[in-house]
Amino acid sequence: MSDFAEYARELHEKEARVFKRNLKPHSCAGRFEKLKGVRAVIFDVYGTLVNYWRTGFENTQGREEALLGAFRELVGRFGMEEVLAKMNPGEDCGKTLSDLYHGLIALNHEKAVNKGAKYPEILVERIWSVIVMMLERNGYSKERWRGAVGTARTVDTADLGRYLGFTYNFLSMGRELYPEVTAALKKLKEDNIVLGIMSNAQFYTPIDLTLFFRDQSGGKIEDFNELFDPDLTFFSFEYGVRKPDELLFRKLFDALYEYHINPSQTVLAGNDFLTDIHPAATLGMRTAFFCGDDSVAFEHGLGSSVTPDIVFEQWDELSGKISFHGEMEDN
């Protein structure tokens, strides 16, 4: 295990942040009670597999304050106070770091759009690496941050962006699978259905998924790829575009072709009409809308024009709504 992977594991195990709440379903109707003749199911991650909600996300102001708090905590852990105060005298150090981060994201997004990207994906690892370079120019050194990653680890500033990116995500978001996700996926696989992922994600997403599935399986699953076929797994950070960009769907369809599986035999399961349900249906896929968490079930005003094939409020319902056997439903 690499030093970085070990750092991620230790942080997760020692400081796991789970924000318990009662999930409120989102009201939504599907076209069918059950889909038959399904060969593959492709899943979104955030808001579908992973519950990323945390205390403070109840409204826009609360979310902004929670995220600012994460920046402040990151500043303290990695010893950035003196350098950030030098860069922006009189300003809250967490606010300075937040402004740097969001300013660089906006700048990179604008550049990508100007080059013709409709739905560009910004690589947060690179954003943090640029921030590290800016900090170094103002006197930031290994002595200031080494304790945050563990003095026994071999880490240089070229790798520090990954540590900062993972840690910020860890501090800022809720981090757990929805209940019964693992059991539901195992049942689908037992029904000869292949599973994949297509999600807007960053470099830390596959790391987190492995940690989450280890937790929920009680250690029986060592790697998320034990459940998902790596050839059917597509993370946006690997391609430079986000859903609903058609590039990700084309990559998926090319991979499905190698399995002799048609889009019409494939279900996309997600929590967002705009990025999951509508584009998948438009391109000939079947759709499953996770509506078990009202806080992250997004229709974007498309409810009058988009109807998922099936909906599910709890994960233990899903395997009963999707079957490898039988004839595919007509449109």
| Three-state DSSP class for residue 215 | helix
- Report the pLDDT value the prediction gives residue 258, as an integer from 0 to 100: 96
Same domain membership, residue 49 and residue 188: yes
Over residues 134-161, the mean pLDDT reads 88
Evaluate if residue 331 carries a pLDDT over 60.
no
pTM (two decimals) = 0.95
β pairing state of 176-177 and 50-51: antiparallel
Provide the CATH number for the domain around residue 300.
3.40.50.1000
Q: Tell me which H or E stretch contains 268.
A: strand 266-270
Contacts of 190 (CB under 8 A, 6+ apart): none
Region 221-240 average pLDDT: 97
Asked if residue 126 is part of any domain, the answer here is yes
CA nearest to 250, candidates 263, 267, 269: 263
Question: pLDDT of 164-206, one tens digit each?
Answer: 999 999 999 999 999 999 999 999 999 999 999 999 999 999 9
Reported as a single tens digit per residue, the pLDDT across 21-55 is 899 999 999 999 999 999 999 999 999 999 999 98
Nearest Cα neighbor of 271 from 243, 296, 306, 238 is 296
- Verify that 213 and 237 share a domain, yes or no: yes
Q: Are residues 189 and 314 in the same domain?
A: yes
| Per-residue pLDDT at 17 exceeds 90 | no
Q: 214 and 312, same structural domain?
A: yes
- Token match 């906006």: residue? 106
My answer on whether 221 and 158 are in the same domain is no
Cα gap 161→60, rounded to integer Å: 27
Q: What is the rounded average pLDDT for all residues in the chain?
A: 95
The answer on 208 and 135 residing in a single domain is: no
pLDDT score recorded for residue 20? 87
The helix or strand, by DSSP H or E, that contains position 197, with its residue range, turns out to be strand 194-199
Last residue of a domain, one of 126, 155, 172: 172
Which range marks the domain in which residue 186 is found? 24-53+176-321
Query: Looking at the structure, do residues 112 and 31 belong to the same domain, yes or no?
Result: no
% of the chain surpassing 70 pLDDT: 99
